Structure 1
């Protein structure tokens, strides 16, 4: 009798998805965040080559978050229909191809068009990677894996200005875009070989009117928020964008609540834990990211420091975050997100008040110490709010929940620099508009501290009992069924 040849296991079965998914998500998150932060460093060099003013290149920066916001609403439906692997890898191909074309652009028009494709691709990358991550790990495992996922989220924005400066000085501004290729291509090949293919479901008819309304509303509002500090909040373009965006957003909300299969499942906000954690994310990101935005401005403009001194001085924040998240991961199930986030935002408020005492003579080491303390406080914010927001969400709604989370975080991220710039403008005499005095920075820090204090007060009202139960694996209802669902899925994937 003829013996059959042994059947070789499929490549995805060779490695556990608990390893493959985090590796791919780390790489994707890193390049997406770096690309959003590194481009500003190259603007003067791009302006010289294309014989333009730096102000004329504003579209290169602004188009990225606008297109990113416009693509996010479609991500949940695409993940449900085609599976997380297909959506993530397809978006990654688009991101890498557009990065290469950005680096090869022969003019400003080509560069802006390719940046638009980058933003659209990133708008699918981030929600798809988040959906894959949170559908692979149970609620009790998410805190542990998030302690490692926070690394690229903190290192990327801190390292981007330093990396961008080195590339522009020693190679060319084009390498600011080419730098995405090595990491991205490695993630693409690794993901194509080892990510398990998840078959899509039938999420219902694609909500095209909902996409058009949501994308138009988010894109218009993002333009108004991003351009408000540059053009002035009273300019016709900004007022028109904000007014039109508000009308479109209201229409999108009404439409999405009425249709049977909405693109953005806004009904998830009826869950108090999901709603409150997203509200904390939206408002809390303003003082947190605002502090990261104003720090380099204060060092370079108020104290006359160099860009390299500024980058090195703000970098200790990342070390503070990485230290705190390890402690948070241990305490989360015992203490709960309410106390952790509330204490973290209280710490952010106190550190911002310390920054408000800085003047032109404050030493770099004092500023670095404050940045480290800021990082220690910030480490109590990111992971608990994200993990708690999904604790009571049904497994089938995870793509929609992560999409809404991404929309909220991107909006908070856009509001932060707008709030800082507005505070600086209000605190600067008209005769010195180009050079804000030290007092303007101090007032801006106090304004950010006030927002952090309000967020801390609200965080202490968070109903976190379901989040603690889910983290311990002892939850009931949705949290418990989700854990059972994911455990069975893990057994099927790894078998």
Structure 2
């Protein structure tokens, strides 16, 4: 079920962009006027994340996960039936709010069920939707828009999501929740406001310009709200966001690696199609088929990483992986308008091979020293960090391309601008690699090798009995 949830949520975030021209024609608007359809999703998602841990603790992971999934599918159906742009934006906001609960609730349920060593094996399967979904989304979206209608980019969630919801309702083991304490309303208002406004500024910065009034206002306001949220959450006895977890060095360092490391990794995935379609004048189909080999590289490496994790530890794996990412980005920086598609595909495959050493080790290691009672809070913070890193990636790439494009040049950036952007991403990857080699991964190796996390042997055996009963 977690695989299905991850797949549809990622696909939905990426597939909508393909349908924008068709939506614009239907509503007789320009594509630029539909910016709200795209931006409202990550903004709403970010605003919903802070409440997810409290909801899981109060109502139980199964109930929250199924409710969020039903909400997401309902919003998808409504998006497909939208008659006006205002309705579509409102329904996309509902989608984002549901997804903001889906991601951390799914992760919390998954990591509370399996021990650290089992999490390594499970992550080898979870990486499949995380890599296949972004690669499939543009191709699938193009086929649906060309042969059916743009409304099917939303309807397509239903054939995957409905069976997952039915399966979860029947087979998922749930609990009644606990008493997490009084709901931290000030923490929700401050953190949701901070994350929403910062996400808006990051997403709109490249489009409107970083010096525009709207972007500066949102970033300044978001930073102020974030500072206030930190002060409040550190003083509250039962905070909505348990920021004290960052006092654990392994949890803090892995999240910092995720925040910065996702910029060169996802930035490379974002800039590839732009380079192929704008600098080389390739078609969208050629672009999708050329960037797709990255997924095969990730799937290959993650199987090896799953075997080596307990023996080698995340420090060496993540550090070497980021060195590989840096090296491949330097290869991309040599590409020009005459670089062949098969050469580019080879580089994408190598990028995937290097990336496969990043996602699973950082996720599993971040929870290795977290108490079982704090797993929902840790998953929430992990989701906040990953969503922020994911938003920073296209913003960094677009900004680098804009800075590298002369004012007198054509609308599309020159090849040199793409090469410079790849060099910037390579420098970031190198910095993350250096930091990754300082990761204190002893506890992570011990947890993976012993077959238990920090929850104790009795809890581990109890969860095994529950899975057998299911």
- TM-score range, shorter-chain basis? over 0.9
The correspondence for 2:185, drawn from 208, 215, 225, is 208
Deviation at 1:435, TM superposition (A): 1.2
Residue 433 of structure 1 deviates from its aligned partner by 5.5
Q: Which residue of 1 aligns with 2:379?
A: 402
* Matching of residue 196 in structure 1 with residue 173 in structure 2: yes
Partner of 1:101: 78
Is the 1:474–1:480 Cα contact (8 Å) retained in structure 2? Answer: no
When the two structures are aligned, how many residues end up with a matched partner? 469
1:488 paired with 2:462, answer yes
1:450 corresponds to 2:424: no
Match of 2:394 in 1: 417
State yes or no: 1:333 paired with 2:307: no
User: Are 2:437 and 1:460 equivalent residues in the alignment?
Assistant: yes
Contact kept? 1:138, 1:487, Cα under 8 Å: no
Q: What's the secondary structure of 1:432's corresponding residue?
A: coil
1:448-486 deviation digits (Å, cap 9, x = unpaired):
0000000000000000000000000177xxx45445423
Alignment of 1:66-465 (within 5 A): 66-432=43-409, 434-465=411-442
Query: Is the 1:473–1:483 Cα contact (8 Å) retained in structure 2?
Result: no
Using the alignment, how far apart are the partners of 1:488 and 1:376 within structure 2?
37
Task: Tell me if structure 2 keeps the 8 A contact 1:425–1:433.
Answer: no
Deviation track 1:98-153 (CA, whole Å, cap 9, x = no partner) reads 10000000010000000000000000001010011101110111101110110011
| Unaligned segments of structure 1, at least 5 residues | 1-23
Query: CA separation in 1, counterparts of 2:466 and 2:266?
Result: 41
Q: Is this contact kept in 2: 1:473–1:480, CA < 8 A?
A: no
Q: Does 1:55 align with 2:32?
A: yes
1:493 is displaced (CA, Å) by: 4.9
RMSD, aligned α-carbons: 0.9
In 2: Cα distance, 1:304 partner to 1:140 partner = 47
In structure 1, what is the Cα distance between the partners aligned to 2:58 and 2:410? 51
CA shift digits 1:256-310 (9 cap, x unpaired): 0000000000000000000000000000000000000000000000000000000
The alpha carbon displacement at 1:321 in A equals 0.0
Is this contact kept in 1: 2:370–2:454, CA < 8 A?
no
Deviation at 1:488, TM superposition (A): 1.9
CA distance in 1, matches of 2:385, 2:408: 37
* C-alpha distance 79-480 of structure 1, shift in aligned 2 (>3 A): closer
C-alpha separation in 1, matches of 2:98 and 2:455: 33
Mapped to 1, the partners of 2:298 and 2:63 lie a distance apart of 33
Partner of 2:408, secondary structure, is: helix
Contact 1:359 1:438 (8 Å CA) reproduced:
yes
8 Å contact 1:85–1:195 — kept in the other structure? Answer: yes
Runs of 4+ deviating beyond 4 Å: none
Q: Deviation string for 1:342-388 (max 9, x for gaps)?
A: 00000000000000000000000000000000000000000000000
1:262 alignment partner, SS class: coil
Distance 2:118 2:129 in 1: 19
Q: Secondary structure at the match of 1:224?
A: helix
CA distance in 1, matches of 2:457, 2:345: 42
1:482 and 1:137 map into 2 onto residues whose CA distance is 12
Structure 2: distance between partners of 1:434 and 1:279: 35
> What are the ranges of 5 or more consecutive residues in structure 2 without an aligned counterpart?
none
User: With structure 2 as the length reference, what TM-score do the two structures score?
Assistant: 0.99
